[in-house]
């Protein structure tokens, strides 16, 4: 079923304080088009928190006929990698596919920003390509590193107008001179350098004359400002390091605060939406843009609270730890809250979007119970998943009154959730597998499944009665022998006969063998990192591998198809490890919240 099934359209248009601001701007016609951006740093894989930011930025673009730029915020070459760039593109496209892909903007490969002369000043603008065609070859996301020349030119302009200077303080002294929130900073002794000297030194920084850490370019703002970010913040630092996009072209790199507002401006962003920790940076964002006296409308920054899901870790640094220490099998391990892991686990993109939009946008950080996410995933899968029969822990049941080799086919329902359900034919016969725990030799009270002398209905087939159990030398039950009431099949004279229990099964000679990976929450604690050591709270049962018996139609399952294995949960073919003839299924989620009572 497609990612765009009706259930995926989600609730009515969301509303929040950022959307209210955008609506007011639209009403007053402030901008020709609303332009947002999603600006990840390619230093790790995207996670469920980024999904919230993606859905907000693309959602606002989509609701207002705008566009959203995917931009790599790549100003810190030593921590970044093209593997991350590629995964980010894949994840964003998957998440917005069929929903806001028409708002996604890319740029032409290798094309620099356009330079335009306005009032004797050079203005830079990065033209977007939008919508992105299905074959996006020749296109790529935006990169902050594409603007290194322009950002550098703006830095020179700040020096020329006396708003920036080269400072020789060491990183430690720069920190010391900055003061603290309740104590003003001290001016750098290099603050009063002449423009000519600053220009010369900045050129020599760029030319590679000085080692790392010996000089910085700093904005000349106010060392006594109550806002610490305005105390002559560093704009450029020396870093003799190759960059994944620009190679060895640069040995000075702009700081996040300098690069970000300028990248927003160059791309014509109208609403620059980020998380709350950047609120204190906003005055600097505004100062830089205002100081450059730019000809086009300036972008503005708006902040919202991060998504902090319970029972998960969403900091990239900590996710890297889980991957590097091989606590999980990689960035796309289905237990991780990475978008790649979520996709591989079988969560449909509309479910992730529904959750990411549904949590809402506020100004207050709070923990979101992961059960909310799991509920949305179940709800979405219930609507789209085809029902199938599978047995995860098989034990053989022999129906002694059905002759060997006799094939009986029964009709099983594919989609009982739909108004006009469809069916498929499933083979049935003398030998079937049932779930080991659907039989109890000594049943507890109210056990309505199979027990010695008892009856149960095999779903879609007939009622069977347990006559005898066969045990091995250790006393373990290895086979259950029953009589089938074939008249109790659908359409038979006894079809209306009722028994208390109904169980699932798979015909033994037709069963497909499969590895099934039973995933569960990775952490047992709601806030795994509350005491600073999240590895203490790993769930030892987050992955259990079983060898299951599946109904034959599942042999042709394709990646991306979702199934409900009846009575067991939702499953999907693993996109990495399944091969023809050796299916591997992932459990996306159980049918019920098994944690609720815990
Ligand atoms: P992390 O803290 O996981 O390392 P980050 O903020 O450094 O994440 P970026 O790549 O800089 O990651 O994030 C890209 C965008 O996603 C930013 O605008 C950031 O504010 C937003 N974002 C990051 N984490 C979350 C989150 N948990 N909830 C909502 N938005 C987030
Ligand atoms: Mg960041």
Residues 157-216: tens digit of each pLDDT:
999 999 999 999 999 999 999 999 999 999 999 999 999 999 999 999 999 999 999 999
pLDDT for residue 598: 56
Residue 47 near residue 319, CB atoms below 8 Å = yes
Residue 389 near residue 427, CB atoms below 8 Å = no
Beta-bridge partner residues of 562: 572
Domains of the chain: 6-309 (3.40.50.620), 316-384+514-590 (2.40.240.10), 388-510 (2.40.240.10)
pLDDT for residue 6: 37
Ligand 1, pocket residues at CB < 6 Å: 39-41, 49-50, 52-53, 73, 274-275, 306-307, 314-316
The CA distance from 124 to 113, in Å, is: 6
pLDDT for residue 119: 78
Q: What is the three-state SS of 156-210?
A: HHHHHCCCEEEECCCHHHHHHHCCECCECCCCCCCCCCCHHHHHHHHHHHHCCCC
Residue of 58, 74, 275 to test ligand 1 pocket, by largest number of atoms within 8 Å of CB:
275
- Of all atoms in ligand 1, which is nearest to the CA of residue 315? 3
Q: What is the pLDDT of residues 43-95, one digit of tens each?
A: 999 999 999 999 999 999 999 999 999 999 999 999 999 999 999 999 999 99
Question: Sign of dihedral through CA atoms 335, 337, 341, 347?
Answer: positive
Residue 74 near residue 55, CB atoms below 8 Å = no
Residue 266 near residue 154, CB atoms below 8 Å = no
Ligand 1 atom 12, closest CA = 40
Residue 48 near residue 373, CB atoms below 8 Å = yes
pLDDT for residue 497: 94
Q: What is the pLDDT of residues 478-493, one digit of tens each?
A: 999 999 999 999 999 9
Backbone angles phi, psi at 424, to 5 degrees: -135, 160
pLDDT for residue 88: 98
Residue written as token pair 């603050």: 191
Q: What are the CA-CA distances from residue 69 to residues 24, 132, 169, 562 (Å)?
A: 22, 11, 37, 31
pLDDT for residue 11: 53
Which ligand approaches the C-alpha of residue 306 most closely?
Answer: 1
| Structure token pair of residue 293 | 């006296």
pLDDT for residue 7: 41
**Rounded mean pLDDT for each run of 10 residues along the chain, 598 residues in total:** 41 87 98 98 97 98 98 94 96 97 96 90 94 92 97 98 98 96 95 98 98 98 97 98 96 98 98 98 98 96 97 95 97 98 98 97 95 98 98 98 96 96 98 97 95 98 98 96 97 94 98 98 95 94 98 95 98 95 96 80
CA of 261 to the centre of ligand 2 (A): 14
CA of 424 to the centre of ligand 1 (A): 46
**Burial (Cβ within 10 Å: 0-12, 13-18, ≥19) of residue 46:** buried
pLDDT for residue 120: 80
Which ligand approaches the C-alpha of residue 41 most closely?
Answer: 1
The CA distance from 219 to 230, in Å, is: 8
The CA distance from 6 to 397, in Å, is: 41
pLDDT for residue 121: 82
pLDDT for residue 118: 80
């Amino acid at each position: 079923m497609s990612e765009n099934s009706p259930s995926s359209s989600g609730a009515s248009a969301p509303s929040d304080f950022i959307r209210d601001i955008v609506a007011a701007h639209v009403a007053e016609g402030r901008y020709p088009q609303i332009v947002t951006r999603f600006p990840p740093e390619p230093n790790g894989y995207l996670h469920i928190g980024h999904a919230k930011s993606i859905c907000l930025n693309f959602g606002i673009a989509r609701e207002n006929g705008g566009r959203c730029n995917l931009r790599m915020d790549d100003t810190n070459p030593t921590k970044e990698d093209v593997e991350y760039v590629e995964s980010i593109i894949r994840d964003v496209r998957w998440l917005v596919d069929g929903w806001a892909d028409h708002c996604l903007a890319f740029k032409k490969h290798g094309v620099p920003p356009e330079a335009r002369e306005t009032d004797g000043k050079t203005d830079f603008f990065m033209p977007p390509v939008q919508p992105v065609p299905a074959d996006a070859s020749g296109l790529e996301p935006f990169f902050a590193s594409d603007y290194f020349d322009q950002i550098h030119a703006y830095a020179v302009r700040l020096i020329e107008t006396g708003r920036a200077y080269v400072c020789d303080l060491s990183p430690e002294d720069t920190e010391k001179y900055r003061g603290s929130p309740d104590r003003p900073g001290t001016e750098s002794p290099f603050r009063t350098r002449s423009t000519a000297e600053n220009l010369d030194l900045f050129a020599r920084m760029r030319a590679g004359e000085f080692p790392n850490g010996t000089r910085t370019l700093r904005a000349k703002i106010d060392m006594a400002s109550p806002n610490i970010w305005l105390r002559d913040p560093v704009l450029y630092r020396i870093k003799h390091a190759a960059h994944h996009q620009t190679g060895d072209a640069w040995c000075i790199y702009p700081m996040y605060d300098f690069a970000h507002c300028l990248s927003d401006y160059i791309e014509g962003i109208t609403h620059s939406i980020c998380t709350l920790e950047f609120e204190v940076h906003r005055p600097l964002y505004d100062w830089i843009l205002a100081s450059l006296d730019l000809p086009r409308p300036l972008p503005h920054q708006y902040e919202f609270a991060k998504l902090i899901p319970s029972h998960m870790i969403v900091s990239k640094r900590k996710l890297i730890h889980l991957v590097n220490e091989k606590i999980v099998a990689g960035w796309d391990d289905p237990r991780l809250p990475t978008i790649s892991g979520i996709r591989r686990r079988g969560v449909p993109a509309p479910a992730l979007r529904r959750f990411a939009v549904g949590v809402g946008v506020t100004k207050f950080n709070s923990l979101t119970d992961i059960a909310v996410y799991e509920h949305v995933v179940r709800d979405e899968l219930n609507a789209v998943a085809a029902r199938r029969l599978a047995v995860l822990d098989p034990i053989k049941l022999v129906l002694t009154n059905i002759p060997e080799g006799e094939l009986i086919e029964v009709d099983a329902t594919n989609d009982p959730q739909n108004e006009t359900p469809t069916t498929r034919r499933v083979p049935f016969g003398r030998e079937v597998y049932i779930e080991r725990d659907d039989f109890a030799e000594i049943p507890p009270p109210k056990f309505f499944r199979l027990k010695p002398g008892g009856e149960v209905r095999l779903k879609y087939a007939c009622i069977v009665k347990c006559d005898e159990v066969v045990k091995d030398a250790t006393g373990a039950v290895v086979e259950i022998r029953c009589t089938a009431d074939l008249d109790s099949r659908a359409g038979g004279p006894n079809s209306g006969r009722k028994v208390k229990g109904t169980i699932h099964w798979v015909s033994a000679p037709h069963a497909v063998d499969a590895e099934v990976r039973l995933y569960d929450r990775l952490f047992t604690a709601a806030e795994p990192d509350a005491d600073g050591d999240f590895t203490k709270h790993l769930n030892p049962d987050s992955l259990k591998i079983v060898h299951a018996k599946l109904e034959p139609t599942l042999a042709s399952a394709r990646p991306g198809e979702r199934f409900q294995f009846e009575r067991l949960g939702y499953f999907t073919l693993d996109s990495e490890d399944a091969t023809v003839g050796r299916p591997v299924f992932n459990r996306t989620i159980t049918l019920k919240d098994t944690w609720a009572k815990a």
